[in-house]
Amino acid sequence: MNVLSLFDGMSCGQIALNNLGIKVDNYFASEIKKHAIKCTLDNFPKTKHIGDVTKVKGEDLPKIDLLIGGSPCQDFSRANAVRDGLKGMKSMLFYEYVRLLKETNPKYFILENVIMDDLGYNTITELLGTEPVRLNGSRVSGALRDRLFWTNIGPEWFDLFGNRKCAIPQPTDKKIMLNDVLEYGYSDKKKHSCLNTSSGYQSPNQEYLIRRNDTTGMITLIYKDEKMNPKDGVRMINQNELELLHNIPKGYTRNLTKTKAGNLIGDGWTVGIVEHIMSFLPQM
């Protein structure tokens, strides 16, 4: 099988394919972040990186069987005060995905993005010819990550107007809690908050961490023990835990700093969710 991965990042899709034992003949990855490319090649040295998505041409590639990608979400994200949607400089790269979908005409495709407004949702749905399935990474991991997946893989149904609906079921809840992932310490939260590109940053100021947690609740603190007394010291998750929170093999980001690892994991996929979708691929 030939796979084309756009906005490949740290190649979470390749991890999922590998976990499922799906034979990949060629994995073409479009990515421009140097530390993302380095991380991928450290783990999958046969990956064929092909650079900037705007310069990739379908005619230069062999027959593609599976097209995957998570186009930039910043202009959709609820964490962004200014949301320009598909008109935004980053999220408009979605149209490169559409272009290459047409140029490569793969048998199967997956596009991932965040929960968004109706305009963006309906535009993407119309262009891809299917409504997405909404899946939350919390069912297969110790962290929250609620996402939309547009795909033609797996079961489907059609409404009275002939519109395709993705019917992939929710994955079995593995009941993985945040405390199951921690190497040491204890959290009062059942799940880690959704990771973002700044998740690898660790403020050295304990008082700041405690105050921010008390006032916003937007960070996840790890306490020394079940007493959860901040005076005994607090921390944020470490690099190994960052990986495990999204089903990424421990040590996958071993050659990166925690900041760079957090940047990639925050941009990446919950591997168990993508693996669940890909499990519906027929043997090829």
Q: Which of 123-127, 174-178, 202-206, 229-233 has the lowest mean pLDDT?
A: 202-206
Per-residue pLDDT band for 91 (boundaries 50, 70, 90) equals low
* pLDDT averaged over every residue in the chain: 90
Residue that wins the pLDDT comparison between 216 and 175: 175
% residues pLDDT > 90 (the chain): 75
Answer yes or no: are the C-beta atoms of 40 and 52 closer than 8 Å.
no
Q: Which of 188, 199, 209 is nearest to 241 (CA)?
A: 199
Tokens 């916003």 found at: 216
Residue at 76: amino acid letter: F
Least confidently predicted of 131-140, 177-186, 231-240: 231-240
Do the beta carbons of residue 85 and residue 91 sit within 8 Å?
yes
pLDDT digits (tens, 9 = 90+) for 15-32: 999 999 999 999 999 999
Q: How far is the C-alpha of 246 from the C-alpha of 67, rounded, in Å?
A: 22
Contacts of 207 (CB under 8 A, 6+ apart): none
Which pLDDT value is given to residue 90? 58
Give the integer Cα–Cα distance in Å for 64 and 92.
23
Distance separating alpha carbons of residues 145 and 137, to the nearest angstrom: 5
Residue 68 above 50 pLDDT?
yes
Please indicate whether residue 182 or residue 194 has the higher confidence score (pLDDT). Answer: 182
Mean predicted confidence (pLDDT) in 102-122: 94
Fold adopted by 2-174+269-278 = Rossmann fold (3.40.50)
Indicate the domain borders of the chain: 2-174+269-278, 178-263
DSSP3 helix / strand / coil % (the chain, rounded to 5)? 35, 15, 50
Average pLDDT over residues 123-145: 95
Mean pLDDT over 84-102 rounds to: 76
Query: What is the arithmetic mean of pLDDT over 45-55?
Result: 97
**What was the pLDDT predicted at 77?**
45
| pLDDT higher than 90, residue 67 | yes
Q: Which amino acid is at 270?
A: T
Closest CA to 114 of 95, 97, 137, 98: 137
